[in-house]
Structure 1
């Protein structure tokens, strides 16, 4: 039976995944401690409203889609102390509490880093500086979809994609080697599989065939929690960023459409609590109330198919 092999949450939008042995799902379908902070552009709004619900468009602040080098920073959020610590190249870059002064220093440190990257000119566009670190560190409000979702992908899908992935010119390609040839015919070792963290899902499962989760419908039980399948996840340029180096070293979008043959670049699926009667606004007492836990090793069972 399929099982969970990895769990992640993302305390600060666009930054380091936090591996977890256990995550808590809220009543609104979001993960406790997931996307509770974000670096906002100076003239951007706070979470916007769509249908009475909060959502956070990627274009409103720092995100991997436009600033892939962020992935090379190592960020740790201590929720108990409300402290954000950032490492750069293994050395301490910033460590501050979430008071006004600490937020300002963190925003300045991150801006300094981004301005020194190839995408730094994007941050210099009108209305973007100074950055502001927003969020209370407790409420999950900075998802880029208006409804709270748990995101899931199968490891077999990532392995299948890894086998055919298109790389930018010069990446893992010896001089004079035919770019159209397979690794085996070139006589070189196969490339390492893509890292699951590249896709920034909350749940990674094993025990299903490649791309199988894209066809799910109806209800699915994970551990003791019952979800309903919402829709597959259409991916963006964030997936091109290597989660260790921040370099765009894999053309995920064009590989999915041109080599895998998808109409839209899709990997993984979105889930909602099966009993959620209606969308719940993020940050409310009702929405933030715990619903239940998911643990690494929990089984995953497709209960039925929508008709």
Structure 2
């Protein structure tokens, strides 16, 4: 994976080329003081929340007790989150243009690993405060800001990155309708179900038609039009059968290989699990069988099998010693 490939997968690079095939979005440059704040290890609480004042008034009216400030230790000082009034106004205007709710991301990544901290575990944002809470809790966002070229093989100087806030019109996407396509030399070599933790029966039944629709979309709208010939493509197939572009990712280990391995994808060996070249999770996932157990029963992980046998042997020795000791 080359640094140029990473640069070409930035949202603002590919969005103008494929705008009519993807979700409506707006891109805003991020001021340096905002970037500094996102990288600051201080408080997660950000100012500018529309609910702060009302919550404070409610709390004061509900209780006559003296306000107490909790701290980790006696030397901890209160930290006031910085204000970004101009940036906040631009962000809110963009959110309003997009319907009042957005899905936020940076040049490459969305804060998917931080949905646990958000209301209802959703990445839906209605304000800059919502976005900051997700971004400051996300390792994916930190990676974008600090190590975007970590897995690149070339030794050339890192390109200069102008960081941008990407706001995408909020759309309720069904996890079972998202797919990841791995493209090498401008050909789709593999397709994986995006949500690799669930087995969806409708995908298993429609696998051929889904694969055909994705390949047709790729040939008609993507092939030979992206700046690189090796890349990873995320798509969504809606209930009417139409395929939409969701995102581009670099062809390399920085991108999740899902139901494949990067060894398979780079070598080209054992790629096709069936005639369509598409992989979906095993029906065994419906029974929530632990992955380690599946590896043991299928022999896919020899080290786990060895560890299991060693543990079993130790247990048998302990049981034998206990029997020999008597009451």
TM range (shorter): under 0.3
Task: Give 1 or 2: higher helix fraction.
Answer: 2
Task: Give 1 or 2: higher strand fraction.
Answer: 1
Q: Which has the higher contact order (CA 8 A, sep 6+)?
A: 1
**Radius of gyration: which is bigger?**
2
* TM-score, length-scaled by structure 2: 0.25
